[in-house]
Amino acid sequence: MSLAQEMFAIAPAMGKANLSASQLKLLSGKSRWIFRVGEAGFPTIPTIALTRAAWEGLQGERGRKEAKLRTHWVACLFKLVGKDAQPPTLVVRTSAAAHNGGLMPAKMGIAAPANPEDSVDPARPLAKAIKAAFDSYGFGQGWTGRSDEDRGKQIVLVQASADGEIEQFLTRNATTGAIGPAPVDGSPLPRLPESVNALVALVDAKAGRHMCCTVAIKRGQIIFVSARPSQVSAAADLEAAVDRVNRKIWSAQNAVSRIDPTRMAQLLHPRLRSTEGMSPIAMGLGVSPGAASGAVVFNPEDAARLRARGKHCILVVNETGPSDIEGMKAATGILTARGGMSSHAGVIARITGKPCVAGVRTLSVDAAEMVCRIGDREFRTGDRLTIDGSDGAVYVGTLPLAQPHIGGAISTLLGWSNATRTIAVRTNAETVESAMTALSFGAEGIGLARSEHMFFSPERMVALRRMILSEDEDDRSRAIHGLVDFQTGDYSALFSAMKGLPVNVRLFDPPLHEFLPRTDEDIEETAASLGLAVRALRLRLERIAEVNPMLGHRGVRLAITYPEILSMQMQAIMAGVRAASDTQSEPVSVEVMVPFVSTATEVAWVRDRVNTIAANSGLLRTERVKFSFGTMIELPRACLRAGDIAQMVDFFSFGTNDLTQTTFGISRDDAPTFLAAYQRKGVYERDPFVTIDEKGVGEMIAIAIERGRAANPRLKIGICGEHAGDPASLKFFAGLGVDYVSCSPYRVPVARLTLAQASA
């Protein structure tokens, strides 16, 4: 492309633009919209463009006292002159692909150049404005690090001034997503002529997203001036997408592919189950919807620490600023003393989908002393609060939350998504309640029921502790006898709730000492309930304590050292299968999974015992039960030995959390102390516990799948780590050809949508 061709009309005052392919490629942002609307035949303000390379060519020529390019430039400027042959007043605008804070605002009211030299002399108004526009690209961050070639292609627009009233409107409603024209930022909708509807339909169809249009109105006629995308809530985006399908602008598949799954997750907020009998201790503004309960924290470090341990927390601050973003992301909810809907806290909270109550006037925070006051009550780190970001209420303590249900547009979109999705989506759940939530979100089974989570109630904990603290095998056998009944009921209820969908039960996993008492008071109580002397209990606890519990006596190691536990679990599972099978018409589909294996011998050892107990139950001979046995793959050695292991199992389920911990040598609990510095210094691009590390952990998984399938072609492959709820990771898993993923219930819609996009 010659430099002469880098000066051209994108919307000439008369006739069509007739751009070459190279010229089309230069268009982005505003220039692209002006061209497209003009091209579609809608009255559009005359506009020409020139690249930085052309501009520099003009200036170079001027130094050499030449005028060849200038002639082209003057001809180009004449494209702004309409039928009346009057040179218009001019406007100079930048036109960048991405919004960029440093760019020059539009420069209005520039007189048309009186002669050719005026059109290129930076001392004269037009050339001066063009130079300032190009210079402003240098200050923005958007172009940093681009190559010289890209820099040459930066463009500046020169427009004829619009005659008439300048007005702005959105193509769709910012809240409901309904087709516009709609008001911008709460300002009233201007009076617009009927013909605006054609413009709205045109821009909406071409953009496929909310756009903010600038138009000139003169004598009831609309002239298009410019348009830019407008960021709206995920809900509005979703409604708009469904509406476009209904209007036949998009196909259903198109809608599915256009919605960002990460943003959809933000629509699924928990809410307070009931506030009956509860009074808020304070009211603020509900600036980001959803309810959240958790421990009070005053800084990002504590928020990150709690999040790493899987705990919820509420970040309490006077007001938020850029330094609080990490803390806000880590927190479950945000509570501020100052600010409103458009405050930093509100904006960030809505973008990240965190419930937020702002502007609580009775709140004061002393971050240094780590204490806050609400009215006359004092709260310190760890105290519990519940906030409702929908109505702005603040409650003391932990109020019960209800998981969101999906309906309306989400439900419609997810329904469409099933058409292209080839990978099943299951959920991680061990209670009937969360199983039901997941089912309502479209889960196709349970991919991970963490059996140890069934012991979290106080009376069961006593029974469990008795087992862990027993001194020999006989003691232990007696202690676990009582545990079978508890578990049988749990399993039976879970199988029944899932109505024949597969339920994957992971055998007992965590380090035993996680279930043991820690505080003095707890130790004394436990000693009393077990009939032990406190001193004897302390000695026993010391012996069980581990230096690195994550890598200790857990998973399959428990099953092999304490076969009584394995036996108890299997008996409870089979009894649960029998009970559920007696009351439902669908066959019970149960999968038993052994965690934390590193050798095929371990798998064989457990498989023999599991299969014996399952066979002895007599249930496998009927058509009413489907039973399979598999293993977690969550250690590097298991990935390497996947060929040996695959021959002994029906399925692999990748535990990506532990696999990330061992592949990187990072304890997730302890990572916050250096992870922030790592991200700040650019050592990690992303947190590997949020998005799968494709080059390391990902290769481990790929090796295991390849070796496993080679050894056992019927091997079923699942993913049950938390990465199974992260869109970027899900795309990677889809590429590996897994059979299913399993994520937390409220992530099921995210996984469904992401996998539909990945399979399309």
User: What residues are annotated to the active site?
Assistant: 344, 720
Among 27-35, 428-436, 666-674, 744-752, the segment contacting a second copy (CB under 8 A) = 666-674
Residues 40-59 that bind a second copy (CB under 8 A): none
At CA 746, angle to CA 742 and CA 749, rounded to 5? 75
With beta carbons less than 8 A apart as the criterion, state whether 253 and 419 touch: yes
496 binds a second copy (CB under 8 A): no
How far is residue 25's CA from residue 35's CA, in Å, rounded to a whole number? 12
311 binds a second copy (CB under 8 A): no
Q: DSSP assignment of 688-717, as one string?
A: TTTS--IIIIIHHHHHHHHHHHHH-TT-EE
Among 36-44, 173-181, 189-197, 693-701, the segment contacting a second copy (CB under 8 A) = 693-701
Q: Which of 636, 647, 691, 711 binds a second copy (CB under 8 A)?
A: 636
Count of residues that bind a second copy according to CB under 8 A? 47
Q: Which of 519, 682, 713, 714 binds a second copy (CB under 8 A)?
A: 682
Among 322-330, 331-339, 426-434, 592-600, the segment contacting a second copy (CB under 8 A) = 592-600
With beta carbons less than 8 A apart as the criterion, state whether 117 and 138 touch: no
Residues 6+ away with beta carbon under 8 Å from 586: 499, 500
- Residues 569-574: contacts with CB under 8 Å, at least 24 apart: 569/451, 569/487, 569/507, 569/508, 570/609, 570/610, 570/613, 570/614, 571/484, 571/613, 572/483, 572/484, 572/485, 572/486, 572/487, 572/488, 572/491, 573/487, 573/491, 573/505, 574/613, 574/614, 574/617, 574/619
Mask 221-240, x = binds a second copy (CB under 8 A)? Answer: --------------------
How far is residue 389's CA from residue 336's CA, in Å, rounded to a whole number? 11
670 binds a second copy (CB under 8 A): yes
94 binds a second copy (CB under 8 A): no
Residues 536-575 that bind a second copy (CB under 8 A): 546-553, 557, 560-561
Distances (CA, A) of 624 to 169, 317, 579: 61, 57, 12
Q: Which of 131, 684, 690, 711 binds a second copy (CB under 8 A)?
A: 684
CB of 548 to a second copy, least distance (A): 4
Residue 449 burial (C-beta neighbours within 10 Å; 0-12, 13-18, 19+): buried
With beta carbons less than 8 A apart as the criterion, state whether 443 and 498 touch: no
Q: Which is nearer to a second copy, 589 or 598 (CB)?
A: 598
370 binds a second copy (CB under 8 A): no
596 binds a second copy (CB under 8 A): yes
CB of 744 to a second copy, least distance (A): 22
Q: Which is nearer to a second copy, 109 or 665 (CB)?
A: 665
DSSP state letter for 472? S
21 binds a second copy (CB under 8 A): no
How far is residue 549's CA from residue 558's CA, in Å, rounded to a whole number? 13
Residue 116 burial (C-beta neighbours within 10 Å; 0-12, 13-18, 19+): middle
598 binds a second copy (CB under 8 A): yes
| The one-letter amino acid at 141 | Q
Among 23-31, 56-64, 424-432, 637-645, the segment contacting a second copy (CB under 8 A) = 637-645
How far is residue 190's CA from residue 199's CA, in Å, rounded to a whole number? 15
CB of 645 to a second copy, least distance (A): 12
With beta carbons less than 8 A apart as the criterion, state whether 328 and 348 touch: yes
432 binds a second copy (CB under 8 A): no
678 binds a second copy (CB under 8 A): yes
Among 349-357, 532-540, 597-605, 752-760, the segment contacting a second copy (CB under 8 A) = 597-605
693 binds a second copy (CB under 8 A): yes
Q: Which of 233, 662, 729, 742 binds a second copy (CB under 8 A)?
A: 662
Mask 605-624, x = binds a second copy (CB under 8 A)? Answer: x-------------------
CB of 665 to a second copy, least distance (A): 4
Residues 6+ away with beta carbon under 8 Å from 189: 169, 181, 182, 183
Mask 452-481, x = binds a second copy (CB under 8 A)? Answer: ------------------------------
| The one-letter amino acid at 456 | F
How far is residue 488's CA from residue 467's CA, in Å, rounded to a whole number? 17
CB of 636 to a second copy, least distance (A): 4
Catalog residues that contact a second copy under the rule CB under 8 A. Answer: 546-553, 557, 560-561, 596, 598-599, 601-602, 605, 634-637, 640-641, 658, 661-667, 669-670, 673-674, 677-678, 681-684, 693, 695-697, 699-700
